[in-house]
Structure 1
Amino acid sequence: MSALDARLAELGITIPEVAAPVAAYVPATVSGQWVFTAGQLPFVDGSLPATGKVGAEVSAERAAELAGTAVLNALAAVKSAIGSLDRVTRIVKVTGFVASDPSFSGQPAVMNGASTLLGDIFGDIGVHSRSAVGVAVLPLDAPVEVELIVEFA
């Protein structure tokens, strides 16, 4: 068992199978030593556990949990592209989209659900730059969507 596998087990986390694309794209693309993921929704067993706007139908706290789920799906896409998460040398960038009620301005706190989880899993190499963007609507009425840029060896 690798150190990363041990850490995932300690956290009680299982990386899911890569989610099937919902349109004409691939889950991740490799270019040189970089993996760029497509936007990943918080699918659990093929369905969204919540839909709607954050700040209206979905609480900020629930959206932060869903951002963590979306980042696990993004890690599944990374794993599918490079074979093993043990090859990750740096989480470079996280871009998070939050389907927001017009009065909601807590997008950074929502995306902390993804960022904190990456730090918990990867430690120092999980510290990254990030954008947290409020949007009117996301595919399938998902509350959040997450993209990663990852460096690997």
Structure 2
Amino acid sequence: MGAVVERLASMGISVPEVAAPVASYVPALRSGNHVYTSGQLPFVDGVLPGTGKVGAEVSPEDAQEYARLCALNVIAAIASVVDLDSVVRVVKLTVFVASAPDFTGQPAVANGASDLMAAAFGAAGSHARSAVGVAVLPLDTPVEIDAVVEVA
């Protein structure tokens, strides 16, 4: 068991199997010293735990948990192409939040993902980030996240 998996296990978290794509793409690919993930949804065992817009049908607190689940699925996507301990830096997260028109708390939602990356990868988990409010996301999910990581 590697250091990243051990850190997650110490928090009671196990890395799931990579989520099956919902269209024509791969969950992650390596190009040189970087891994790029496709957008990951907050699937748990193939099921979305909630749908709708944050600030309307979905609370900011639930959305932050969905962002954490997306980040866990990002980690699973990374693990599908490289050993997690080869990650030397989480470079960038892009967090898309399906938002009610007046919802402006996207950065707080994104913290669910950022905090998990820091916990999983330690100092290497510190990253640049965008948190973007959008009208709708695939399958009416409240949150979707993609990432770029640098690997050894």
* TM-score, normalisation: structure 2: 0.98
Give 1:128's aligned residue.
127
Identity %: 63
> What is the deviation of 1:29?
1.4
Determine the C-alpha separation between the residues in 1 that align with 2:2 and 2:102. 45
Q: Which amino acid aligns with 1:23?
A: A
For residue 66 of structure 1, what is the amino acid of its counterpart? Y
* Secondary structure in structure 1 of the residue aligned to 2:115: helix
Q: Distance in 2 between matches of 1:22 and 1:132?
A: 23
Partner of 2:61: 61
**Could you tell me whether the CA contact under 8 Å between 2:5 and 2:15 is conserved in 1?**
no
2:24 paired residue number: 24
What residue is the counterpart of 2:147 in the other structure?
148
Structure 1 unmatched runs, 5+: none
**Alignment partner, residue 12 of structure 1:** 12
Measured in 1, the distance between the counterparts of 2:60 and 2:108 equals 8
Q: CA deviation at 1:120?
A: 1.1
Equivalent-residue separation in structure 1 for 2:95 and 2:5 (angstroms): 25
Question: TM-score if structure 1 supplies the norm length?
Answer: 0.97
SS at match of 1:36: strand
- Matches of 2:73 and 2:95 in 1, distance apart? 13
- The runs of at least 4 consecutive aligned structure 1 residues that moved more than 6 Å come to none
5+ residue gaps in structure 2? none
The alignment partner of 1:113 has SS state of helix
Summarize deviations over 1:46-99 as a string: whole Å, max 9, x none: 0100000000000001000000000110111110011x2111111000000000
Q: Give the Cα separation in 1 of the matches to 2:53 and 2:92.
A: 24
1:95-125 CA-partner distances (Å, limit 9, x unpaired): 0000000010000000000001111111110
- Cα deviation, 1:122-150, whole Å, max 9, x if unaligned, reads 11100000000000000000000000101
- State the match for 2:3 in structure 1: 3
Q: CA deviation at 1:6?
A: 2.1
- Tell me which amino acid in the other structure corresponds to 1:75: I
Q: Is the 8 A contact 2:64 2:112 kept in 1?
A: yes
